[in-house]
Amino acid sequence: MRVAITGASGFVGSCVATCLVRRGHDVVGFGRRPRSGLAAPFRSYKQWDISAGPIAIDHFDGVVHCAAQVGQWGPRSVYESVNVGGTRSVLETFQRTPRFVHISTASVYALDQSTVKIPEDARVGEPLLTDYARTKAEAEQILAASGRPVIILRPHVVYGPGDATLLPRVLAARRFGRFPLPGNGRNRISVSSVFNLALAVELALESVDPSGVFNVADEEEPTIEEMLRTTLRRHGVGDRLLHIPHWAARTLAAVNEGVWRAARISSEPTLTRYAVAHLAESFTLDVACARARLGYSPPWTFRDAPLSLADLE
């Protein structure tokens, strides 16, 4: 299958592209970075900033839209430009491509409902804590309104080699050899290996049904403490945690955000309400739909997922 990957110069896009190539697909990557700035070389790669508008392309059998502005802070206009305007550009560019797979996020689920075993038909939209989540929810609305068949995948806390957000934040948050953890650490979460996500992408491209919304996560739902300790140990870092009362962390995060906004600091706050919610509260996904309709059976967990692309050999 000839497949286009947007966001191929980023974490998720590059891993998905690499996995599809190894599975025998003819992949062309599209990304904002120039070819010289890629972490791993592509045989076929084209530089494209999707926020700048649509482009002319050759024929493709499928497109995987991975490109996104990811984060929990920063100007809303940036998230809108890439996640909303960029999605419109990708839709227009690939309007004649038979298969369209969109990488969304489980962060689009409204937070005033149960966040345990969330099904795909749970409510999407406000209340949400970040402009990333809001614009990704809006991107899903645009795809739904387009009238074309689209498969939407909603992973949560994607981890793996090349991750520029989760692991770096965990390591940066350590103080005096300890990681400050809001809550008691017993809340359970769904996490998604980028390699399991790549598997879901391939299954979506080859699915008999060209449309649908699917949660994507690892099989195991660990406690946050277990996941953090294992992750730190696997990266050769001490796994000592410092538990902080949930209420105290939430209050500090709100104050922190207020200070950052008042001072118009562009960098991300050291602690946010979004981070506290994901570290101290349970958030698990029901992946039964992906199992039943896509044949999704994730082989990796945070305990044994490859730490580098070379480990996939």
The alpha-carbon radius of gyration of the chain (Å, integer) is 19
Residues 6+ apart with CB under 8 A from 280: 181, 182, 183, 187, 224, 246, 249, 250
What's the pLDDT score for residue 39?
67
What's the pLDDT score for residue 166?
74
What's the pLDDT score for residue 162?
87
Q: Rounded distance, CA 301 to CA 222, Å?
A: 10
Whether 94 contacts 59, CB under 8 Å: no
Whether 197 contacts 11, CB under 8 Å: no
What's the pLDDT score for residue 40?
66
Domains and CATH numbers, the chain: 2-163+191-219+284-312 (3.40.50.720)
The enclosing H or E element of 283 equals: none
Q: Rounded distance, CA 244 to CA 253, Å?
A: 12
Instruction: Pick out the chain residues at pLDDT < 50.
Output: none
- Sequence length of the chain is 313
Residues 6+ apart with CB under 8 A from 258: none
Q: Rounded distance, CA 283 to CA 200, Å?
A: 20
Reported as a single tens digit per residue, the pLDDT across 19-64 is 999 999 999 999 998 887 776 667 899 999 999 999 999 999 999 9
Reported as a single tens digit per residue, the pLDDT across 191-204 is 999 999 999 999 99
50 to each of 36, 67, 84, 90, 162, how far by Cα in Å?
19, 8, 10, 7, 21
